[in-house]
Structure 1
Amino acid sequence: MTTARVWFITGASRGLGRAFTEAALKAGERVVAAARDLSPLDDLAAAHPENLVRLTLDVSDRAAVRAVVDRAAAAFGRLDVVVNNAGVMLLGMVEEATEEEVRAQFDVNFFGALWVAQAVVPHLRAQGSGHLLQVTSMGSSGGFASTGFYAASKAALDSLSQALAMEVAPFGIKVTIVQPGGYGTDLFTRGTTMTGPHPEYEPLRVQLSEMWGEDAGPDPSTAAPVIMELAGLAEPPLRLIVGSASYDLVQQLDQARTQEYRTWEHLSRQAPG
Structure 2
Amino acid sequence: METKKVWFVTGASKGLGLSLVKQLLDAGHKVAATSRNLSDLQKAVSAESESFLPLAVNIKSEESVEEAITRTVSKFERLDVVVNNAGYGLVGSLEELSDRESRENFDVNVFGLLNVIRKALPQLREQKQGHIINIASIAGFSGLFPGFGIYCATKFAVHGLTESLAAEVKPFGIHTTLVSPGYFRTDFLTSGSLGTPENPLEAYKEVRQTQQMHQEDINGNQPGDPEKAVEVIIKASESKNPPLHLFLGEDSYQLAQDKINLLNKDLEDWKELATKTGFEYAS
TM-score band by shorter chain is over 0.9
Quick one: structure 1 residues 228 and 207, their matched pair in 2 at CA, closer, same or farther if it must change by over 3 Å? closer
Whole-angstrom distance in 1 between the partners of 2:213 and 2:165: 39
8 Å contact kept, 2:12–2:33: yes
Quick one: structure 1 residues 258 and 111, their matched pair in 2 at CA, closer, same or farther if it must change by over 3 Å? same
TM-score, structure 1 normalization: 0.94
8 Å contact kept, 2:146–2:210: no
**Runs of 5+ in structure 2 lacking a partner?**
none
Whole-angstrom distance in 1 between the partners of 2:210 and 2:171: 49
8 Å contact kept, 2:91–2:211: no
Which string of whole-angstrom CA distances, capped at 9 and with x for unpartnered residues, describes residues 29-87 of structure 1? 11000110233433565434121100101111122111211112222011111101100
Whole-angstrom distance in 1 between the partners of 2:215 and 2:33: 32
Whole-angstrom distance in 1 between the partners of 2:109 and 2:141: 15
Matching residue's letter, 1:237: P
Question: What residue is the counterpart of 1:11 in the other structure?
Answer: 11
Whole-angstrom distance in 2 between the partners of 1:3 and 1:208: 44
Question: What residue is the counterpart of 2:263 in the other structure?
Answer: 257
Matching residue's letter, 2:148: T
Secondary structure, counterpart of 1:262 in structure 2:
helix
Whole-angstrom distance in 1 between the partners of 2:132 and 2:67: 18
In the alignment, structure 1 residue 239 sits paired with structure 2 residue 254: no
**Runs of 5+ in structure 1 lacking a partner?**
none
Quick one: structure 1 residues 54 and 259, their matched pair in 2 at CA, closer, same or farther if it must change by over 3 Å? same
Backbone CA RMSD of aligned residues: 1.9
Question: What residue is the counterpart of 1:271 in the other structure?
Answer: 277
What is the total number of aligned residue pairs between the two structures?
273
In the alignment, structure 1 residue 63 sits paired with structure 2 residue 63: yes
Matching residue's letter, 2:254: D
TM-score, structure 2 normalization: 0.90
Question: What residue is the counterpart of 1:39 in the other structure?
Answer: 39
Matching residue's letter, 2:270: W
Q: Percent identity?
A: 37
8 Å contact kept, 2:42–2:54: no
